[in-house]
Structure 1
């Protein structure tokens, strides 16, 4: 059996206010072409189908068109909800879709019920918000590790009576994984990671959440997002894993690169050099994040840059040999909400939050996240 492992589509997402729907539609074209050329049997989508719990009408339309095309290719598609998705909204009509070969799994109560395709059991573990599953599963603690280990216990219990190859889909931050700026923080009490050993006992694990492809072990992998969603991903090769599963289990995986809608790059230098030097010519069609190093901040810098680099999206200044300046405000993108809140208190009050305040803020952040997971 051939399984195409993909994740983190984030349909409807923008890149510094630039719409990516056209690029995401091009990825879907590539996905269908890969299914045909590689004779794929199952498409495994490991969460974050949408970019937000209430996706735009255009994002929903693209998802609908994508699933319709996958059904037309006569492949089975197994999808789970991620931390960006609304599990209840994404899971609407799941039972009705099963008959078409589209298997949406967003309910934690069903993690021990596999989708059996041929002689392979697919166990779909949606993103598990610890607060949402702690009471139903009587977890000993509120953590991602406790939630996922309980879910995997249910998987192993069911698998023990089947004696067939197995694939697990999960949306989590596995210890040792390398993140990027475009992923939403999922930490609980400061802890977001789960050990790779939690997945022992299955043949292949299709992970979602981290946006760069990576191998946590030979058979536990992230596919990464199909498109770059932050400049921190400028060096990443995007795509999907093409996984072979045989009677004895996992046989190997090959990475299939996805098309690049528009390359991205980070550049740094003085404005005059950026505007005149031929060495920057290859970047004229890129989306750019530019850091200017002029001793004095140039006037109309963005306007001038866009005459040569029309797709410049982000601009910052870091003067060469500048005297020690006052500390800059910390960046917000990609940082845990609790850290942003604590930095705000320190900034406006001139002293850090005390232990009680930190505890109250952490509880508020986690309550908001749990509410969103149940939306």
Structure 2
């Protein structure tokens, strides 16, 4: 049996305020093409199908098109919910879906598998949706953390799989021990303490298809993250986009390989002075990329985003990261004013205060002197 493992589609997410729906639709079309060309038998989507609990109508259209396209290849589709999804909204029509597409969102049904046969016998697919401890503790007394919730769910799964016999696959959405998150992106599930799920929790299944982490990660031959199919932050820019293709034989996992998906627009982080970013040819290959610009000028520049977007139309982020910082000066602005012995020093004291310790450079100092001298000349002539 050939399985394609994907996750974290985040349909409806924006990238620095820009909609990603059109780009994601193209990537998911490529995913469907991969399923067809690789003769995949089962597609497993391990949570975070949508980016929010209340997605817009066009998000449902993309999901419907993708599920229909996957099923038209002949593959079965098994989908679980993640922490970004509303399990109720994602699963409310589960019983009405076309044959071969199953959406598993009910924690009470984690031990009820979708069973699909191949030439070696049955393979049981168990879908564990994102388990919010505050909600599942009503039916699973004693559960206080996500680690405990996953451990309890996996206990139920193992017991059922043992009774049924045969091979089995688990899809789950969690933060497992041994993986690194993308800063400011995968923060919705706590990463510290007991909310990290130990790898040993996933002992038993022939394969565990995990979701939540946006980068491809191999925790063991049997436990993997596929990551997101689209880049959703600059922190992900070096992480490949794709899905795992896993072959099961009579004994379990026989092979696992990476299927690459297209990147609609690459992500680049550029560093230099603002003048370098605006003119240097070494940045020419980023002119059609999403750009995060870090300009290193000592002082903040005027309207850097607008100026950078003239060269980089897809500049989405600008940060001021001075290459050199002035020595710390703990004096208050009032004390700096009191210490000034001339109007020139008074202006310099103001610049030093608002620029975090950086006073006028030589060209600015000359301009200040010229302006002040002109003012004095006008006052004397009057």
Assess same fold via TM > 0.5.
yes
Say if 1:165 and 1:246, in contact at 8 Å, map to a contact too. no
Q: Residue 194 of structure 1 aligns to a residue in which SS? A: coil
- Which structure has the bigger radius of gyration? 2
Q: Residue 181 of structure 2 aligns to a residue in which SS? A: coil
Q: 1:274 aligns with which of 277, 299, 305?
A: 277
Provide structure 1 residue ranges, at least 5 long, that are not aligned to the other structure: 327-375
**Shift in Å, 1:188:** 8.7
- 1:8 is aligned to 8
Change (3 A) 1:321 1:36: same
- 2:115 is aligned to 116
Say if 1:6 and 1:223, in contact at 8 Å, map to a contact too. yes
**Shift in Å, 1:297:** 1.5
Alpha-carbon distance between aligned partners in 1 of 2:60 and 2:14, rounded to the nearest angstrom: 15
Q: 2:151 aligns with which of 149, 152, 174?
A: 149
**Shift in Å, 1:93:** 1.6
**Shift in Å, 1:185:** 2.1
Which one has more relative contact order, counting CA pairs under 8 Å at least 6 apart?
1
Alpha-carbon distance between aligned partners in 2 of 1:146 and 1:190, rounded to the nearest angstrom: 12
After TM superposition, the score normalised by the length of structure 1 is 0.84
- 2:100 is aligned to 101
- 2:224 is aligned to 221
Change (3 A) 1:248 1:324: farther
Query: RMSD over aligned Cα, in angstroms?
Result: 1.5
**Shift in Å, 1:192:** 2.2
Name which of structure 1's ranges 316-325 and 11-20 shifts more when overlaid on structure 2: 316-325
Change (3 A) 1:325 1:176: farther
- 1:165 is aligned to 167
After TM superposition, the score normalised by the length of structure 2 is 0.82
Q: Deviations over 1:189-214 (max 9, x none)?
A: 85420001101011100000000000
Q: 2:133 aligns with which of 130, 134, 137?
A: 130
- 1:371 is aligned to none
Say if 1:292 and 1:316, in contact at 8 Å, map to a contact too. yes
Say if 1:206 and 1:221, in contact at 8 Å, map to a contact too. yes
**Shift in Å, 1:70:** 1.7
Change (3 A) 1:256 1:188: closer
- 2:65 is aligned to 65
Q: Residue 292 of structure 2 aligns to a residue in which SS? A: strand
Paired residues in the alignment total: 324
Q: How does 1:212-291 map to 2 (within 5 A)?
A: 212-291=215-294
Alpha-carbon distance between aligned partners in 1 of 2:155 and 2:304, rounded to the nearest angstrom: 57
Alpha-carbon distance between aligned partners in 1 of 2:81 and 2:50, rounded to the nearest angstrom: 9
- 1:323 is aligned to 326
**Shift in Å, 1:95:** 1.9
Q: Deviations over 1:24-52 (max 9, x none)?
A: 11112111111111000000000000000
Matched, 1:86 2:77: no
